[in-house]
A and B are shown apart, each in its own frame.
Chain A
């Protein structure tokens, strides 16, 4: 029912809006600030509208520019992961009976469920990349030096949280690849000195990876880690704002008062964000993660390949360099993490700190090489199908006198074809 004379109604709405603006605490803008839509300090004494405009006009340091984009991109990818993760959790069921079926339902039954899932998978990969690039920028740009060393440590904790996110999320589809990759990963972890055995007992909750492990991983993935990361992120951002953007290696740019957050910096954010979303969607569309055979604890699959960067890297390191190579790389990583705490010299130029530069280059080069190599390592021959035998010749390898071949019963997962063919070729 539209009143014939709309004037009183319009006045009523105008009054409501004015009351709302007057009664709303400007500190609410801190939420916008937290999610990155606002940059400056919030003047909470002002009314909402004035505080908002003031925050928009806030002038950023002249150092802020494209170099800082990777951190923001990692954060955007994390937000994509949160959104797609919540959508997935509407349909996912964390039990050994239903997990696999619910993934099938998400991929083939729910509208755009396939997009949610593949976007989640791809954002999980890209976030590692973005975080590492961000880390490299901070490392080589000497942005970790005092007074920002606390933020370096927070950043490292965030990186580990991202790794833990990936490792726990990897089990959830409950298919052969996830099951056996996690089994393998936990077996490697169990060999870590001192804490390894205990940690694996706590994580696995059972002698083998089982329903108890799935519940535990699910709880860690959707309850523990999100809150942890949210807390760490708040700290990370608060520290960034407290200390400001690090000066350039070549020295502080003098002069210039910087650019206002809106619209200059906001436009850059829009550009980077749009491209990241477009890339993630493209990757998800072109290289969907195939659904492997359902997890079968009694039968390892003929071929095991991961769809997660870290598994690729560690597999390549172990395959080509052996356990010692892997351990050496971990030590190198630990050195990378700890070095900024001890490196307190004011020197910022790379030429002035050759050890740091060499360490960083070695770490990031090894990581990139191992990732590429691990990606190619997937072509492991698969077990042959034992199903279609009536007209196939049996292999005639055995020779009399030679010891009898003891071959396990033809290992053939329910969908062996999905092991041999990887329609998407997703890493």
Chain B
């Protein structure tokens, strides 16, 4: 009975790893005849036998996403965790420490398998994407080991999922992870790559949104360059890359004259005005200066740029004054719910200006600026009416002081008269 069960168990264990995990097959077969191995749970004890020597890696057995899902030492490194001697432990399908290319292949052996990843809902294209990336091309094509492989970004033994803040690929950690190589001047000098991207990114609109406001909708390095298929976008791709998030802006941009130029590769898309890693907002009062950078201040375009700037500056002033008007009314105790609603509609038009001006069409801008203006004038006039009624309250001071001063004067007169009669009666008294 026991023998039959052992045989069955051995057969199952031998057959199962053939599908995916080759490593545990032999140790299982070897430990099968001993008593503990008949209990399936006992496999876990022997699975981490490597830690008897490799104590430094013991955290890998309990921490990280692989430990959670039963991926042990042998799953990647092979060997025999149940062995008590070194030669036997490092025998059989022993992988040891794989080089960078082998590491990528090793990870891919599971992570490219849709059958295995289905359980976790993970994509399986990472290895293929990595091969096509600059990093992958250098690694597999030129055996260049300066480039990172999977473990350089995701961690080696203790691997955390990207949504874990300890992971090196957690959104706020990604720029630092990339910068650990890309801000190294010695390393980057070989490839003639600049090293100021991280510094620029940190101060950019995206960097501020990510680091200061913890806005994870903001792109990190991988948002534009791809997570595993890292490559700088080509000139003609730029507008589409930015447009993945800034959809409406890209649509307007594409309709305008700059869009055509960008499609023809004559203009580096959005970067022409906003720069790449340092993504800058163009301030309202520096629009024409930005245009002049390419067009020059003597060109016909200059006047057009000045016109656009004028409208944007005006609309900014209008919307700010509308906001001030609401605050004034609120401070005076007015109910401003409706006015806030009105202000929101003005703000929507105002934001549409930010978007629509990429089309470089003055008529569209004029229309929107007029709408912002009308909201602003409406709210301003209401605030002014509130202020005026408050001012009118002060007119009450006139009767108040007139009456009280008269009363005081009369009372003082009466007092004086009384004192006089008192004195008279005192002096004339006995």
Residues on A facing B (Cβ under 8 Å): 101, 103-108, 114-115, 259, 263-264, 267-268, 270-271, 274-275, 277-278, 281-282, 285-286, 288, 290-293, 385, 387-396, 398-400, 404-407, 409-410, 414-418, 420-423
Please tell me if the beta carbons of A264 and B415 are within 8 angstroms of each other in the complex: yes
Please tell me if the beta carbons of B284 and A391 are within 8 angstroms of each other in the complex: yes
Nearest CB of chain B from residue A324's CB, rounded to whole Å: 37
Chain A CB within 10 A, most for which of B202, B331, B353, B404: B331
Chain B residues near A416: list those with CB within 8 A. Answer: 327
Contact with A391, one of B331, B354, B397 (Cβ below 8 angstroms): B354
Chain A residues near B283: list those with CB within 8 A. Answer: 391-393
A391 vs B317: C-alpha distance when bound (angstroms): 11
**Also in contact, A288 and B347, with CB within 8 A (given A259-B422, A275-B408):** no
Please tell me if the beta carbons of B397 and A417 are within 8 angstroms of each other in the complex: no
Please tell me if the beta carbons of A417 and B415 are within 8 angstroms of each other in the complex: no
Please tell me if the beta carbons of A391 and B208 are within 8 angstroms of each other in the complex: no
What are 24 contact pairs spanning A and B, CB under 8 A?
Answer: A107-B334, A267-B411, A267-B415, A271-B412, A274-B407, A277-B404, A278-B401, A282-B400, A285-B393, A291-B330, A291-B331, A292-B331, A389-B281, A390-B354, A392-B284, A394-B208, A398-B203, A398-B212, A406-B212, A409-B214, A415-B327, A416-B327, A418-B330, A423-B331
Interface residues of B in 19-44 (CB under 8 A from A): none
In the complex, B420 has a CB within 8 A of chain A? no
A-B contact count (CB 8 A): 156
Please tell me if the beta carbons of A285 and B397 are within 8 angstroms of each other in the complex: yes
Chain B residues near A274: list those with CB within 8 A. Answer: 404, 407-408, 411
Contacts beyond the supplied A274-B407, A285-B394: 9 A-B pairs with Cβ under 8 Å: A115-B396, A271-B408, A274-B411, A278-B401, A278-B405, A291-B332, A404-B212, A407-B213, A418-B328
**Also in contact, A400 and B199, with CB within 8 A (given A290-B332, A394-B205, A418-B331):** yes
Please tell me if the beta carbons of A282 and B333 are within 8 angstroms of each other in the complex: no
Main DSSP-derived SS at the A contact region: loop
A392 vs B354: C-alpha distance when bound (angstroms): 11
A125 vs B13: C-alpha distance when bound (angstroms): 87
Chain B residues near A268: list those with CB within 8 A. Answer: 411, 415
Nearest CB of chain B from residue A103's CB, rounded to whole Å: 7
Please tell me if the beta carbons of B331 and A415 are within 8 angstroms of each other in the complex: yes
Main DSSP-derived SS at the B contact region: helix
Nearest B residue to A414 via CB reads B330
Please tell me if the beta carbons of B327 and A421 are within 8 angstroms of each other in the complex: yes
Please tell me if the beta carbons of B327 and A418 are within 8 angstroms of each other in the complex: yes
Nearest CB of chain B from residue A195's CB, rounded to whole Å: 38
Chain A residues near B212: list those with CB within 8 A. Answer: 398, 404-407
Nearest B residue to A400 via CB reads B199
**Also in contact, A285 and B316, with CB within 8 A (given A259-B422, A409-B213, A421-B327):** no
Chain B residues near A115: list those with CB within 8 A. Answer: 393, 396
Contact with A285, one of B183, B319, B324, B396 (Cβ below 8 angstroms): B396
**Chain B 376-415 near chain A by CB (<8 Å), digits 1 or 0:** 0000000000000010011011001100110110011011
Please tell me if the beta carbons of B394 and A108 are within 8 angstroms of each other in the complex: no
**Also in contact, A271 and B333, with CB within 8 A (given A282-B400, A387-B323):** no
The 5 A-B residue pairs with the shortest CB-CB distance, nearest first, are A417-B327, A107-B333, A418-B331, A391-B284, A390-B354
A405 vs B172: C-alpha distance when bound (angstroms): 12
Contact with A415, one of B198, B319, B326 (Cβ below 8 angstroms): B326
A278 vs B412: C-alpha distance when bound (angstroms): 17
Chain A residues near B412: list those with CB within 8 A. Answer: 267, 271
In the complex, B109 has a CB within 8 A of chain A? no
Nearest CB of chain B from residue A98's CB, rounded to whole Å: 13
Chain A residues near B350: list those with CB within 8 A. Answer: 388, 390
Please tell me if the beta carbons of A114 and B393 are within 8 angstroms of each other in the complex: yes
**Chain B 306-322 near chain A by CB (<8 Å), digits 1 or 0:** 00000010001001100
Nearest B residue to A266 via CB reads B411
In the complex, B211 has a CB within 8 A of chain A? yes
**Also in contact, A291 and B333, with CB within 8 A (given A271-B408, A271-B411, A421-B327):** yes
Contact with A417, one of B280, B328, B334, B396 (Cβ below 8 angstroms): B328
Chain A CB within 10 A, most for which of B202, B319, B333, B336: B333
**Also in contact, A423 and B284, with CB within 8 A (given A264-B418, A271-B411, A391-B354):** no
